[in-house]
């Protein structure tokens, strides 16, 4: 079920759903998603669906990983991206093949430790990890040209806006309960442009690190 044919079907589906960045689609094609889920779910790894990874978290749907990556890269290459929510490490792995450096923050230490191991196995070495509160970001290493948030925030965290470089782009789901919207935030000279891109469903962005 992890055959090349299965992967190609997924890529065709993403293309049919309107994703068109060839670099993003190629990275999705070659990234072994089955390594980022429990062995019992490996046969479902190339379905276009979110899957549980424990700790009330999920590995994002491939469409959403590709869509958010496309949105980040829409204005050109990025050299420094912060990811909020390492999770399984799948989005991290995809990003690390598309941008120069990734700084990934995760509040659940056991998930991040597993993600680190997977990225090392894949020889993806341009990622730095921080165990901490995603609402706070990683101010010591700011600013970032791109920020991607893989959990839904009730509102846009001010700390993340502050850490976005001029001209930088942030992709973030915002809302509560059933009402969640994917948003693109662009830092302009005199403030932030906010674009609402459509309904989504993500696990909540929670406060406080967990061992």
pTM of the model: 0.94
pLDDT of residue 6: 87
Sequence-distant (6+) residues with CB within 8 A of 25 are: 11, 14, 15, 19, 66
Please report the DSSP string for 120-185 in residue order: HHTT--SEEEEES-GGG--GGG--EEEEEE-SBBSS--HHHHHTEEEEEEEEEEEEETTEEEEEEE
As averages over each run of 10 residues, the pLDDT of the chain (211 residues) reads: 80 94 96 92 91 89 96 94 97 98 96 96 97 96 97 96 98 92 96 96 85 60
Q: Considering the candidates 3, 20, 60, 104, report the single residue annotated as catalytic.
A: 60
The contacts found for 22-28 with CB under 8 angstroms, 24 or more apart, are 23/73, 23/98, 24/66, 24/69, 24/70, 24/73, 24/94, 24/98, 25/66, 27/69, 27/94, 27/97, 27/98, 28/62, 28/65, 28/66, 28/94
Angle between helices 22-30 and 62-73 (to 10 degrees): 140
Q: What is the pLDDT of residue 109?
A: 94
Beta pairing, strands 80-84 & 127-131: unpaired
pLDDT at 3: 73
pLDDT of the residue at 2 = 60
Is there a catalytic annotation at residue 60?
yes
CB crowding 114-141: b at 16 or more within 10 Å, else e: bbbebbeebebeebebbbbbbbbbbeee
Contact 107, 209 (CB under 8 A): yes
């Amino acid at each position: 079920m992890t055959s090349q044919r299965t992967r190609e079907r997924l890529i065709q589906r993403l293309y049919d759903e309107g994703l068109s960045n060839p670099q993003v689609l190629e990275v999705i094609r070659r990234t072994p998603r089955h390594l980022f889920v429990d062995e019992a779910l490996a046969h479902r790894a190339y379905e276009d669906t979110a899957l549980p990874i424990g700790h009330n978290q999920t590995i994002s749907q491939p469409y959403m990983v590709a869509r958010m990556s496309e949105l980040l890269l829409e204005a050109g290459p990025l050299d420094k991206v912060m990811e909020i929510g390492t999770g399984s490490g799948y989005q991290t792995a995809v990003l690390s093949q598309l941008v120069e450096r990734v700084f990934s923050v995760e509040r659940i230490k056991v998930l991040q430790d597993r993600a680190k191991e997977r990225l090392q196995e894949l020889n993806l070495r341009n990622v730095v990890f921080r165990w901490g509160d995603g609402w706070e970001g990683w101010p010591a290493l700011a600013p970032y040209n791109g920020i991607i948030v893989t959990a839904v925030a009730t509102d846009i965290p001010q700390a993340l806006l502050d850490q976005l470089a001029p001209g930088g782009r942030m992709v973030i789901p915002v809302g509560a309960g059933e009402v969640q919207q994917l948003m693109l935030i662009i830092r302009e000279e005199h403030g932030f442009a906010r674009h609402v891109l459509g309904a989504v469903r993500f696990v909540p962005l929670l406060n406080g690190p967990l061992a």
